[in-house]
């Protein structure tokens, strides 16, 4: 498995992006420190009408293959914040990563997007 992890570390495990409702999200997946472990870094950027950007959050979560991980950056009542889930599956010849990002303002969802990327060795 060490060889597989080293091979995957050599891959350009790029980012996937979406733009929706004034937000841009990016998710980057890299191998973790242990076998069957991955680090998912998500960047959520708000894009104003004039094109100016403001990074809302850059949560990072370590995911064990086949298990979903969640991270929340929000107020106590979860009325405002960023809610992220990440699931990385090991498939033959690579991995499949699925991330979901929800942004809430005053209890209303302003963004709800799911991204999926398959990375091959």
Burial of 98-112, coded b for 16+ CB within 10 Å and e otherwise, reads bbbbbbbeeeeeebe
Please give the tally of structural domains in the chain. Answer: 1
Determine the structural domain holding residue 50 and report its residue range: 2-120
Torsion angle of alpha carbons 57, 104, 81, 66, nearest 10°?
-70
User: What is the predicted pLDDT for the residue at 10?
Assistant: 33
pLDDT confidence of residue 22:
85
pLDDT tens string 41-62: 999 999 988 888 999 899 999 9
Q: What angle do CA 7, 9, 15 make, to 5 degrees?
A: 125
Q: What is the mean pLDDT of the chain?
A: 83
- What's the pLDDT band for 96 if we cut at 50, 70, 90? very high
pLDDT above 70: residue 13: no
């Amino acid at each position: 498995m060490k060889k597989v992890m080293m091979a995957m570390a050599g891959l350009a495990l790029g980012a996937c992006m979406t733009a929706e409702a004034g937000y841009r999200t990016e998710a980057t997946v890299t191998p973790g420190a242990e076998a069957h472990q991955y680090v998912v870094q998500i960047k959520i950027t708000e894009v104003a009408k004039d094109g100016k950007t403001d990074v809302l959050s850059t949560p990072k979560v370590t995911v064990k293959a086949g298990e979903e991980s969640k991270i929340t950056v929000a107020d106590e009542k979860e009325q405002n914040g960023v809610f992220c889930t990440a699931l990385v599956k090991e498939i033959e010849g690579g991995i499949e990563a699925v991330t979901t990002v929800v942004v809430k303002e005053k209890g209303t969802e302003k963004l709800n997007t799911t991204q999926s990327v398959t990375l091959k060795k």
